[in-house]
């Protein structure tokens, strides 16, 4: 910081970088009132310097040389909104090595290399903030770290991927197929040309590993998150769920019972009365249950130029305030609890199972016997004819059961001679 000016090196001038420039320009007076200093973009790193931009940036600020930012002694803060793992990780570690504070929106990087980056930051007394990496414009990381610091969080459930929420909302409201809605979402620019990490649940899993690390104070890795995407969800499943009072969502669940942790991302039937059930379209929401506070929910845009930029610029404001107070790098609390993950027999939930059986006497009793053998009791049962071929479609919702029992039951049903096909099974949440 030089007198009344903080200089920022901006890495990336795409969707989020453009929003950062707009906010810094448009809100400069307010930001100056809050921090007492002028925040100035000193250099902007891009890949294609000749590209037309939708914001005015002086051409002499644009560079393709990362070291002209990283090794500029006048630059105090690096704002990284270029994305990706390489070369970005190297740039961020070098920025910290040079004593520069870092603000990033990069969930991929923080989920995979967050521990290494935060360790380096602590060694160098530097700040690293990454609010925009989870749920875009919703200030959920700050809420976990500061707002809930006096409480013990036992459960977080997140709709943290806008693309999949848009697809499932459309399938649910219009009865359209997964393939048709995905294609439309790509044409409208909601889904990326390569939507693999969104529809496969990996983007949400990265965000859940960040949320669970901060919420449970344990160092969670991406491999600790069990992950299933939405590509096998059918409109038939969604319709049966509706009849039973549920809506289909891709839900990230992080739960802690007696210090044992489970984190998963999977298509889940959510009871209509649950606060997450009405989160539709590209919106995100994170439901947090604290032992003392009870139920809370944070809702808003999970992506987009200006919403995401608000999170980035707010982080920047915190860095600047810390600089004025001389406390950079001191506010971060490293994970201090041992990570103890649940086994499948310790993970409990209700489950929806849809399968085709022979429509003859005794079949239902054999199904319920198989369930009883694994101590699983039924909450709801629905049966209807299937293809008029002496077959029936059975849809059941269990009471809370262990994941292990459900796996065993599915194996038994598949091996039996009266079950023709297991169509689908999903975790069920809400309505307890
Ligand atoms: P984007 O639109 O693709 O922009 C990326 C920018 O980085 C571009 O300006 C590009 O330069 C530059 N860039 C990429 N690789 C580079 C390299 N190797 N060297 C120099 N410059 C490079 O990306 P975005 O949507 O703004 O996302 C940025 C980050 O924010 C990502 O980590 C993303 O996950 C995260 N995020 C995005 C959103 C969102 O709504 N978009 C929401 C939350 C978090 P050119 O312009 O010259 O090509
Ligand atoms: N691809 C992400 C989504 C963007 O669909 O939510 C925000 O991280």
Q: From ligand 2's centre to the CA of 244, what distance in Å? A: 30
pLDDT at position 330: 87
Give Cβ neighbours of residue 259 (< 8 Å, ≥ 6 apart).
Answer: 337, 338, 340
Mean pLDDT, range 62-69, rounded to an integer: 98
Give me the pLDDT at residue 190, please.
78
Residue 3 binned pLDDT confidence (cut-offs 50, 70, 90): low
pLDDT tens per residue across span 341-390: 999 999 999 999 999 999 999 999 999 999 999 999 999 999 999 877 88
Question: Which one of 133, 163, 191, 249 would you pick to mutate in the ligand 2 pocket, going by the greatest count of ligand atoms within 8 A of its CB?
Answer: 163
283 alpha carbon, closest ligand: 2
Mean pLDDT of the region 211-230: 97
- Lowest-pLDDT range, 48-57, 174-183, 187-196, 420-429? 187-196
pLDDT of 1 above 90: no
What is the mean pLDDT of the segment spanning 36-43? 96
pLDDT tens-place string over residues 113-170: 999 999 999 999 999 999 999 999 999 999 999 999 999 999 999 999 999 999 999 9
Task: Specify whether 207 is catalytic.
Answer: yes
What is the reported pLDDT for 308? 96
Looking at the CA of residue 83, tell me the nearest atom of ligand 1: 32
Please tell me the distance from the alpha carbon of residue 208 to that of residue 221, in angstroms, as a whole number. Answer: 10
User: Atom 4 in ligand 2: which residue has the minimum CA distance?
Assistant: 303
Q: 397 with 241: CB under 8 angstroms?
A: no
Q: Which of 132, 133, 161, 168 to mutate to test the pocket of ligand 2 (most atoms within 8 A of CB)?
A: 161
The overall average pLDDT reported for the chain is 96
Choose which residue among 111, 191, 203, 229 to substitute to test ligand 2 binding: the one with the highest number of ligand atoms within 8 A of its C-beta. 203
| pLDDT-above-70 percentage for the chain | 99
Reported as a pLDDT band with limits 50, 70 and 90, residue 57 is: very high
CATH architecture of 140-301: 2-Layer Sandwich (3.30)
299 C-alpha to ligand 2 centroid (Å): 15
Where does 5-133+305-325 sit in CATH, by number? 3.40.50.720
Label residue 4 by pLDDT band (50, 70, 90).
Answer: confident
CA distance 222 to 432: 29
* The CATH number of domain 346-429, selected from 3.10.450.50, 3.30.70.960, 3.40.30.10, 3.30.70.260: 3.30.70.260
In the block, tokens 């930029």 appear at 309
Domain locations in the chain as residue ranges? 5-133+305-325, 140-301, 346-429
Question: If you average pLDDT over residues 221-239, what whole number do you get?
Answer: 97
pLDDT of 163 reads: 95
pLDDT at 331: 76
Residue nearest to atom 8 of ligand 2 (CA): 303
User: Which ligand 1 atom sits closest to the C-alpha of 136?
Assistant: 43
pLDDT (mean) for 244-253: 98
**What's the pLDDT band for 217 if we cut at 50, 70, 90?**
very high
Query: Of the residues 7, 107, 170, 207, which is catalytic?
Result: 207
Flag the least confident range among 173-177, 211-215, 287-291, 333-337. 333-337
The lowest-confidence range among 41-45, 77-81, 184-188 is: 184-188
- Please give the pLDDT value at position 45: 98
For residue 127, what pLDDT is reported?
98
Cα 74 to ligand 1 centroid, rounded to whole Å: 24
Instruction: Check residue 334 and give its pLDDT.
Output: 87
Q: What is the pLDDT of residues 402-412, one digit of tens each?
A: 999 999 999 99
């Amino acid at each position: 910081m030089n007198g009344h000016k903080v200089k920022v090196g901006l890495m990336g001038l795409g969707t989020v970088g453009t929003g950062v420039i707009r906010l810094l320009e448009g809100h400069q007076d307010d930001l100056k009132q809050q921090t007492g200093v002028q925040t100035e973009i000193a250099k902007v790193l891009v890949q294609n310097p000749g590209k037309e931009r939708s914001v005015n940036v002086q051409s002499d600020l644009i560079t393709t040389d990362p070291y002209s930012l990283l090794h500029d002694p006048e630059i105090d803060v690096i704002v990284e909104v270029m994305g990706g793992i390489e070369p970005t990780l190297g740039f961020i570690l070098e920025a910290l090595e040079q004593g520069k504070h870092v603000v990033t929106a990069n969930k991929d990087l923080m989920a995979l290399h967050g521990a290494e980056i935060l360790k380096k930051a602590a060694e160098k007394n530097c700040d690293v903030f990454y609010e925009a990496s989870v749920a875009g414009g919703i200030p959920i990381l700050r809420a976990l770290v500061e707002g809930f610091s006096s409480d013990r969080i036992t459960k977080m459930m997140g709709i943290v991927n806008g693309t999949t929420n848009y697809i499932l909302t459309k399938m649910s409201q219009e009865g359209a197929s997964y393939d048709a809605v995905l294609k439309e979402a790509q044409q409208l620019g909601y889904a990326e040309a390569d939507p693999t990490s969104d529809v496969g649940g990996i983007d949400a899993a990265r965000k859940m590993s960040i949320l669970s690390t901060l919420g449970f104070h344990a160092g969670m890795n991406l491999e600790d998150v069990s992950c299933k995407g939405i590509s096998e969800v059918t409109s038939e499943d969604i319709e049966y769920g509706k009849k039973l009072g549920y809506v289909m969502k891709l839900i990230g669940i992080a739960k802690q019972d007696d210090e044992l942790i489970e984190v998963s991302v999977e298509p889940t039937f959510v009871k209509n009365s649950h606060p997450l059930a009405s989160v539709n379209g590209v919106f995100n929401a994170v439901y947090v249950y604290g032992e003392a506070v009870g139920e809370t929910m944070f809702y808003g845009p999970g992506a987009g130029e200006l919403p995401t930029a608000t999170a980035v610029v707010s982080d920047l404001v915190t860095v600047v305030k810390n600089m004025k107070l001389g406390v950079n790098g001191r506010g971060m609390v490293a994970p201090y609890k041992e990570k103890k993950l649940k086994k499948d027999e310790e993970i409990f939930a209700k489950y929806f199972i849809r399968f085709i059986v022979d429509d003859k006497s005794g079949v239902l009793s054999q199904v319920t016997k198989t369930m009883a053998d694994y101590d699983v009791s039924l909450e709801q049962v629905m049966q209807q004819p299937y293809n008029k071929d002496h077959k029936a479609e059975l849809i059941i919702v269990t009471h809370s059961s262990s994941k292990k029992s459900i796996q065993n039951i599915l194996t038994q049903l598949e091996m039996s001679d009266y079950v023709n096909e297991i169509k689908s099974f999903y975790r069920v949440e809400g309505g307890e």
